[in-house]
Amino acid sequence: MGLIRSHRLQLTRRQFLQISGLSGVSFLLGGCGTPSFEDLVGKLSEPLNQRVEALIFNPQKPVPEFSPSQIQPEALIVNTFRATPIIDQQKYRLIVDGEVNNPLSLSMKEIQTLPLTSMIIRHVCVEGWAAIVQWGGIRMQEIIALAQPKANVKYAYFKSADGYYESWDIASVLHPQTLLAYQKNGEPLPVDNGAPLRLASPIKLGYKQSKWVTQITLTNYLSPFKGYWEDQGYEWFAGL
């Protein structure tokens, strides 16, 4: 019963702006410390283009979606980081921890009691291909609201069952079209596409959209390990 009551929690506009770093002067000052001060507090600098992307990003503006007739069922290429992990969905738990007041450990059954959101969007791969896909799942907004994030949260780290790891800015995590998806084109999400849960969003390149997500950690800083591909030179913000 606690989960059913809790899923109705919503982030107020003030809370959203606080934890997404978009309120008042904090947004402008977030990346403006001197190098010596940043070294002192352990804050990592971002390349200028990433700061510009974050500045122009509208965290609440929906991206236009496509019609069902435009879905491209065969266009979504399966890229693997390592071997596809074997996950027992009956034992699976999604962990949400870090800078939260209510850490979560949710089964798929509990997750599927939350409001289902479906969207038809374009998945864009950095390799140059794209696919129009219908994703269904739970908005990340709902999961974050359940976990009751602290006001200082700026980033989310995603850990996957195959060892893949990613980090996002919290404003992108809270975008209304950022999902933890468990459906693809109206059917249960295939294991090769990231079942039981994967990230799906029209605002980030494909390598940001982790498959087989097992843990989400909310933090107030960006560690030196930003993401599997980012740590090899890919752009971190990766916005569309």
Average of per-residue pLDDT across 153-173: 96
Which of the two residues, 239 and 19, has the higher pLDDT score? 239
pLDDT on residue 98:
97
In order of start, what are the domains of the chain with their CATH numbers? Answer: 2-232 (3.90.420.10)
Distance, in Å, from the CA atom of 35 to the CA atom of 45, rounded to the nearest integer, reads: 8
Distance, in Å, from the CA atom of 72 to the CA atom of 124, rounded to the nearest integer, reads: 13
H/E element, 56: helix 48-56
What tens digit of pLDDT does each residue of 45-71 get? 344 455 555 555 566 678 999 999 999
> Rounded to 5 degrees, what are φ and ψ at 43?
-85, 135
Q: What is the mean pLDDT of the chain?
A: 81
Which of the two residues, 12 and 110, has the higher pLDDT score? 110
Examine the pLDDT at 77 and tell me if it is beyond 50: yes
Examine the pLDDT at 2 and tell me if it is beyond 70: no
**Sign (positive or negative) of CA dihedral 37, 223, 144, 49:** positive
Examine the pLDDT at 85 and tell me if it is beyond 90: yes
Residue carrying the six token digits 């596409």 = 193
Burial class (CB in 10 A: 0-12, 13-18, 19+), 111: buried
**pLDDT-based confidence at residue 32 (cuts at 50, 70, 90):** very low
Examine the pLDDT at 231 and tell me if it is beyond 60: yes
Average of per-residue pLDDT across 89-116: 96
Q: Are strands 198-200 and 117-124 parallel, antiparallel or unpaired?
A: unpaired
Average of per-residue pLDDT across 66-77: 93
What tens digit of pLDDT does each residue of 197-223 get? 999 999 999 999 999 999 999 999 998
